[in-house]
Amino acid sequence: VSGSRVPDPVSVQGDEVAETFLRGRLRILQKKRGYRFSLDPVLLAARVALKRGDRVIDLGTGSGIIPLLLAARHETGAIVGLEIQERYADMARRSVALGGLAERIEIRRGDVRDARIEFGPESFDVATCNPPFRPVGTGKVNPSDEKAIARHEVAGTLSDFVAAMRYLLRQRGRAHLVVPAARLVDLLAILRGARLEPSRLRTVHPRPGSRAELALVEAVKGGKPGLTVEAPLVVNGDGEGYSDEVAAILSGDRP
């Protein structure tokens, strides 16, 4: 996203680059090829408020970008990142080590569909997820491809991720998800069906006056109906470069 590339002789492997975030305070490894994160998890992480003692789980954590941003931004919070692909889990662990965040972030290899085996019920206060969003059957999918697992619903559908959130969150615990705007109805209906009641929605538009590409949704386990639709988030300004708000999010000056 923002990043200049800073190779590290110790922890960065040949097929990886280290992207810098938060004015250089954080470096996150990602693959040069294969699935690469975009702005989605950065915008999602910026919406999560943590209170002292909050236990957080990020489902399908990939490079670990959401746990890393949360730990770098908040002084409190114990965060677990769950990732099905060992190659990504290993890379995420090395980013955690690079940032000296091993005491606060645990990266665990595991399948969201096995959340009941991995964790106890209601054991988290906050759950985050930037799910693989493309239904199987759209676009080319090779189920053995690691990129496909990160992008498509091969290893867990939106419903699987939401079901895991429901199991893992305590009552009144908060779920944060980001999906393509086209899947907003799916997400809202699935959340309500799981009694994770959508409480806040913010749509993300590439520029002023354009359609939304993403939807950021917060839901509360056992919450009452009543959605707050926030002002839209515009990514690019009228001129070149990011809007002031997105620039502030990327630099860590905000929230």
Which residues contribute to the site for a copy of itself (CB under 8 A)? 181-186, 188-189, 192, 197-198, 201, 203, 205, 208-212, 215, 225-232
- Residue spans of beta strands (DSSP E) within the chain: 16-21, 26-31, 55-59, 78-83, 105-109, 124-129, 169-180, 196-205, 214-221, 228-229, 233-234
Smallest separation (angstroms) from a copy of itself to the CB of 232: 5
DSSP secondary structure string, 161-225? HHHHHHHHEEEEEEEEEEEEGGGHHHHHHHHHHTTEEEEEEEEEESSTTSPPSEEEEEEEETPPS
SS3 call for 97: helix
Smallest separation (angstroms) from a copy of itself to the CB of 199: 9
Residue whose entry in the numeric block shows the structure tokens 């236990």? 55
Smallest separation (angstroms) from a copy of itself to the CB of 60: 21
Smallest separation (angstroms) from a copy of itself to the CB of 251: 20
- Measured from the CB atom, the residue of 6 and 49 that comes closer to a copy of itself is 49
According to DSSP, the β-strands at 169-180 and 214-221 are antiparallel
- Measured from the CB atom, the residue of 52 and 224 that comes closer to a copy of itself is 224
Residue 242 is classified by DSSP as B
SS3 call for 54: coil
Counting every residue written for the chain, the total comes to: 255
Smallest separation (angstroms) from a copy of itself to the CB of 182: 5
Q: Phi-psi region for residue 139, left (φ > 0), alpha (ψ -120 to 50) or beta? A: left
Smallest separation (angstroms) from a copy of itself to the CB of 57: 24
Residue whose entry in the numeric block shows the structure tokens 């090395």? 94
- Measured from the CB atom, the residue of 184 and 247 that comes closer to a copy of itself is 184
- Measured from the CB atom, the residue of 107 and 201 that comes closer to a copy of itself is 201
- Measured from the CB atom, the residue of 57 and 249 that comes closer to a copy of itself is 249
- Measured from the CB atom, the residue of 84 and 187 that comes closer to a copy of itself is 187
The answer to whether residues 124 and 169 touch, using CB atoms and an 8 Å cutoff, is yes
Smallest separation (angstroms) from a copy of itself to the CB of 183: 8
- Measured from the CB atom, the residue of 244 and 253 that comes closer to a copy of itself is 244
